[in-house]
């Protein structure tokens, strides 16, 4: 197809790694969301819809600031608002988190996906869905520790943030990053983003947020969308951001142990049937069997 396909490092439902001629020698990319700088204006949501040609249905007010109420196949990112009364300071804190795909280094969606090539991971760290291969089973939702993918009711396929892979591929930043008026969302190489985060954390600590820190969870091998949190010790404060996200045990069991065993059992069954057919052959009846059957039928019951 294109040379781009050489940049794939992992592919769903494919045990053998794709041959890779090129690597991300300039490092992986990352998006850093500084929760402490976010004002909740939702420009990122609008820019995302504009760039990706998405228009969600106009919903109804659900009584809180989250709008739309949840992620959908047409809303790939969403500001989640939480009012938190800090017991230490007594202050009311308005915590705003931009929710969306975290682009994990070990993606649970890719792990769980049964359709070859429907989910791929590029060398730059982006995890992308390829809807033409998607069978709409929804296993990616089960596999995702952050509950991000959504199935479209229009075409029955799964959708989520692509980290604007089409923009990043030509050297641009994602649409949400570009539009952010306060600079709460920044984009660059993962190393640079970690350094930027370290500076922000130092600043937050000097302003009284002793537990400020970076959210780059090791349970999924680190992510390519990271947060600077003022309460990094309690990520669940931010609209239930999981403290220790992990790919579900069932996904590991089905895709790890059960799958090869089941495949082996299937292959053995087919092979046994084939050998039986060749070696022993099908059941055949001769004249004596037919005669016995006729007598059996004619016998008065």
Partner 1 sequence: MADLTRRQFLKVTGATLVGSSLALMGFSPTPALAEVRQFKLARATETRNTCPYCSVACGVLMYSLGDGAKNAQPSIFHIEGDPDHPVNRGTLCPKGAALVDFIHSPNRLQHPEYRAPGSDTWQRISWDDALERIAKLMKADRDANFVEKTADGRTVNRWLTTGMLAASASSNEVGYLTHKVARSLGLLAFDNQARV
Q: Which of 123, 115, 130 is nearest to 26 (CA)?
A: 123
If one asks whether residue 279 binds partner 1 (CB under 8 A), the answer comes out as yes
Mask for 126-165, x = binds partner 1 (CB under 8 A)? --x-x--x----------------------------x--x
Single out the residue of 87, 181, 282, 300 in contact with partner 1 (rule: CB under 8 A): 181
* Selected range binding partner 1 among 42-50, 107-115, 186-194, 239-247, rule: CB under 8 A: 42-50
CB of 4 to partner 1, least distance (A): 4
If one asks whether residue 246 binds partner 1 (CB under 8 A), the answer comes out as no
If one asks whether residue 191 binds partner 1 (CB under 8 A), the answer comes out as no
If one asks whether residue 184 binds partner 1 (CB under 8 A), the answer comes out as no
CB of 264 to partner 1, least distance (A): 18
If one asks whether residue 113 binds partner 1 (CB under 8 A), the answer comes out as no
> Nearer Cβ to partner 1, position 2 or 301?
2
If one asks whether residue 18 binds partner 1 (CB under 8 A), the answer comes out as yes
If one asks whether residue 180 binds partner 1 (CB under 8 A), the answer comes out as yes
Question: Contact positions toward partner 1, by CB under 8 A?
Answer: 1-2, 4-5, 8, 11, 14, 18, 41-43, 45-47, 50-51, 116-117, 120, 128, 130, 133, 162, 165-167, 169-170, 175, 178-181, 183, 274, 278-279, 281
């Amino acid at each position: 197809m294109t040379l781009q396909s050489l940049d794939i490092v992992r592919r769903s439902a494919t045990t053998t790694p794709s041959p890779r001629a090129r690597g991300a020698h300039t490092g992986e990319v990352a998006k850093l969301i500084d929760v402490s700088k976010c004002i909740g204006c939702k420009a990122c949501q609008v820019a995302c819809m504009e760039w990706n040609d998405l228009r969600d249905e106009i919903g109804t007010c659900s009584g809180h600031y989250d709008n739309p109420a949840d992620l959908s196949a047409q809303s790939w990112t969403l500001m989640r608002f939480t009012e938190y009364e800090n017991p230490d300071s007594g202050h009311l804190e308005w915590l705003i988190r931009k929710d969306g795909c975290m682009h994990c280094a070990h993606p649970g969606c890719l792990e769980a996906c049964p359709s070859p090539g429907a989910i791929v991971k590029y060398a730059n760290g982006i995890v992308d869905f390829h809807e033409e291969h998607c069978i709409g089973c929804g296993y990616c939702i089960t596999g995702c520790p952050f509950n991000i993918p959504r199935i479209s009711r229009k075409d029955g396929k799964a959708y989520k943030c692509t980290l604007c892979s089409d923009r990043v591929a030509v050297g641009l930043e994602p649409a949400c990053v570009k539009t952010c008026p306060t600079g709460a969302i920044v984009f660059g190489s993962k190393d640079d983003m970690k350094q930027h985060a370290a500076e922000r954390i130092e600043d937050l600590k000097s302003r009284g947020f002793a537990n400020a820190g970076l959210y780059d969870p090791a349970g999924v091998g680190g992510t390519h969308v990271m947060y600077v949190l003022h309460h990094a010790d309690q990520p669940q404060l931010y609209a239930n951001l999981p403290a220790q996200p992990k790919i579900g045990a069932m996904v590991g069991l089905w895709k790890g142990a059960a799958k090869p065993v089941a495949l082996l059992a299937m292959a053995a069954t087919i092979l046994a049937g084939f050998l039986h057919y060749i070696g022993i052959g099908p059941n055949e009846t001769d004249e004596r069997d037919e005669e016995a059957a006729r007598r059996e039928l004619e016998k008065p019951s």
